[in-house]
């Protein structure tokens, strides 16, 4: 058992973590469907038929048909979701909780009236806990961060690809800057890309404004941003690695929003097209990571940089030999609004690239105001590049980086295009250490 999941040793208790959540996703979503009177009526009219319309495992369906909440919890159900199902059957929380204890309803009620279950005799077996603490052997194999890729994600670039304009004089110099990248990717194909981007009022509108969103789902369709969805392949996620990263980052005090279902906009699909070209299927899995840079306050460069460091530890503690690239996208200088629209600052952008390579910790101290003043209101997207940079081996001293490619061009639509590939060359085969 991983040391940081010792909560599994608490007897008679199922902790609902990202792993359980993935296991019980459809079961819990089925429960949510019972929040309308109409659906409750059709469930009660024919439970089996209603359950069969959901992509549930047979064990999950049987648990509900047997009214066996312990089995439903083992199958990934969570009590607050299952309570919607219980309410549909007319059960109270007390009846539901009692049904899991092996007691009759009356016995359970009497126990509660007499002060509830005692913690005595219901604690962790401390010999087992100590054995878990003593066993600190690092995993025999682990995932590695092989490289960081940085690129703008201008939607007009996607439109130029989709409408066959890449050879036009306006676009040719932009796409030439990515020829190296496509070749490099064929030679250095990762298993997973952890893709840092910002959603542009697509999956997240003003009803919810999360700062950091980690995609823990299995698949993400390309969004319709008003011009129809881009004709690109669907994106496959990596739920297991994403769940591990969620666990590690939240334990490192980065409060993430976990999203299992969302569409992804140009912020994510344009970098994929630039790096992999016009393909029938993306050649690897993608874990989307959205950063709010639309509504202030947005996270600081320093917070992003520290998140990148924590991300590296998270990836390198995953016990499968996966090659993972971390991509930072958005930028470079651009302003899409107001009388200052069209602002481009070549000097500042190139100094940003220099410092990103040579002095990322110093660059992380640059305040928001400087991004907005020097790189335009949408230039703030560049804070996201610091997440990818923070995940590199030179930051924690475990290795070195190599600049494989650097490119800068003005303009693509309203934007300065920047692109950088940094390879990771760790010194040892051991995972990145916890600080």
Ligand X SMILES: O=C(O)c1ccc(O)c(O)c1
| Cα angle value 270/276/280 (rounded, 5°) | 95
Contact segment (CB under 6 A) with ligand X among 154-162, 176-184, 188-196, 364-372 equals 154-162
Of the pair 34, 157, the CB lying nearest ligand X is at 157
**In the stretch 5-24, what mask flags binding to ligand X with x, by CB under 6 A?**
--------------------
DSSP state of 231: S
Q: Which one of 42, 70, 257, 413 is in contact with ligand X (CB under 6 A)?
A: 413
Helices (H) and strands (E) in the chain, counts: 20, 10
Write down the catalytic residue from 142, 153, 247, 266: 266
List the x/- string, 189-228, binding to ligand X by CB under 6 A: -----------x----------------------------
- Report whether 416 contacts 435 (CB < 8 A): no
Task: Round to whole Å and give the CA distance between 157 and 416.
Answer: 12
Least gap, CB of 409 to ligand X (angstroms): 13
Q: What's the min distance (Å) between Cβ of 288 and ligand X?
A: 16
Kindly tell me which residue out of 40, 306, 334, 405 binds ligand X, with binding defined by CB under 6 A: 334
78: contact with ligand X by CB under 6 A: no
CB closer to ligand X, 163 vs 427: 163
Secondary structure (3-state) at 260 = coil
From the list 64-72, 126-134, 150-158, 307-315, the region that binds ligand X by CB under 6 A is 150-158
Q: Which helix (H) or strand (E) holds 419?
A: strand 415-426
For ligand X, the closer CB: 124 or 336: 336
For residues 386 and 363, the answer to whether their CB atoms sit within 8 Å is yes
244 is an active site residue: no
In whole angstroms, the minimum distance from the beta carbon of 434 to ligand X comes to 36
CA distances from 283 to 111, 143, 153, 235 (A): 58, 18, 19, 10
Q: Minimum distance between the CB of residue 57 and ligand X, rounded to whole angstroms?
A: 40
Instruction: Give the nearer residue to ligand X in terms of CB position, either 260 or 292.
Output: 292
Check binding of 405 to ligand X (CB under 6 A).
no
- 266 in catalytic set: yes
User: Measured in Å, how far apart are the chain's first and last C-alpha atoms?
Assistant: 22
CB atoms within 10 A of CB 86: 21
Q: Which residues contact 414 (CB under 8 A, 6 or more apart)?
A: 334, 335, 336, 341, 342
**Which residue is closest to ligand X by CB?**
413
Q: Which is nearer to ligand X, 200 or 405 (CB)?
A: 200
Question: Whose Cβ is closer to ligand X: residue 152's or residue 398's?
Answer: 152
Q: Could you tell me which of 297, 295, 307 has the C-alpha nearest to residue 385? A: 307
**Taking Cα atoms as reference points, which of 369, 330, 333, 334 lies closest to residue 351?**
333
Least Cα distance to 193 among 202, 205, 181 occurs for: 181
156 binds ligand X per the rule CB under 6 A: yes
415 binds ligand X (CB under 6 A): yes
- Among the listed residues 111, 336, 357, 372, the single contact to ligand X using CB under 6 A: 336
Is 378:397 a contact under the CB 8 Å cutoff?
Answer: no
Query: 3-class SS at 193?
Result: strand
303 touching ligand X, by CB under 6 A: no
Question: Mind giving me the DSSP string for 253-291?
Answer: T--PEEESS--B-HHHHHHHHHHH-S-SS-SSEEEEEEE
Residues near ligand X (CB under 6 A) are: 154-156, 200, 334, 336, 378, 413-415
Positions annotated as catalytic residues are: 266, 334
């Amino acid at each position: 058992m991983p040391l940081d999941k010792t909560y599994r040793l608490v007897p008679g208790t199922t902790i609902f973590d990202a792993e359980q959540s993935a296991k019980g996703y459809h079961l819990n979503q089925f429960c949510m469907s019972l929040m309308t009177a109409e659906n409750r009526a059709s469930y009660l009219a024919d439970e089996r038929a209603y359950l069969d319309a959901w992509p549930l495992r047979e064990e999950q369906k049987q648990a509900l048909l047997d009214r066996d909440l312990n089995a439903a919890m083992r199958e990934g159900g969570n009590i607050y979701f299952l309570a919607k199902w219980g309410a549909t059957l007319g059960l109270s929380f007390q009846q539901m909780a009692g049904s899991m204890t092996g007691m009759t309803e009356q016995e359970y009620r009497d126990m509660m009236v007499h002060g509830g279950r005692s913690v005595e005799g219901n604690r962790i077996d401390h010999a087992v806990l100590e054995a878990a603490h003593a066993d600190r052997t690092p995993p025999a194999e682990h995932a590695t961060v092989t490289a960081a890729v940085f690129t703008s994600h201008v939607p007009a670039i996607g439109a130029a690809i989709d409408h066959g304009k890449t050879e036009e004089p306006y676009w040719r110099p932009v796409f030439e800057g990515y020829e190296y990248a496509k070749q490099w990717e064929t030679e250095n194909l990762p298993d997973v890309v952890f893709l840092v981007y910002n959603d542009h009022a697509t999956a997240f509108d003003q009803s919810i404004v999360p700062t950091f969103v980690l995609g823990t789902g299995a698949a993400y369709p390309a969004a319709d941003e008003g011009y129809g969805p881009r004709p690109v392949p669907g994106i496959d996620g990596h739920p297991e690695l994403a769940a591990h990263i969620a666990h590690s980052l939240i334990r490192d005090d980065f409060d993430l929003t976990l999203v299992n279902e969302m569409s992804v906009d140009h912020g994510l699909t344009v970098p994929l097209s630039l790096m992999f070209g016009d393909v029938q299927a993306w050649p690897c899995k993608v874990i989307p990571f959205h950063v709010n840079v639309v509504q202030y306050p947005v996270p600081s460069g320093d917070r992003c940089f520290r998140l990148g460091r924590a991300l590296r530890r998270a990836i390198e503690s995953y016990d499968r030999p996966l090659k993972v690239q971390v991509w930072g996208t958005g930028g470079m200088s651009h302003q899409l609004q107001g009388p200052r629209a069209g602002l481009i600052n070549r000097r500042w952008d190139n100094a940003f690239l220099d410092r990103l390579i040579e002095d990322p910790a110093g660059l992380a101290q640059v305040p928001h105001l400087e991004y907005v003043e020097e790189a335009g209101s949408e230039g703030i997207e560049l804070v996201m590049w610091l997440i990818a940079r923070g995940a590199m081996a030179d930051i924690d001293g475990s290795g070195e980086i190599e600049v494989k490619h650097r490119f800068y061009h003005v303009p693509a639509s309203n934007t300065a295009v920047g692109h950088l590939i940094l390879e990771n060359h760790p010194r040892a085969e051991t995972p990145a250490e916890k600080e």
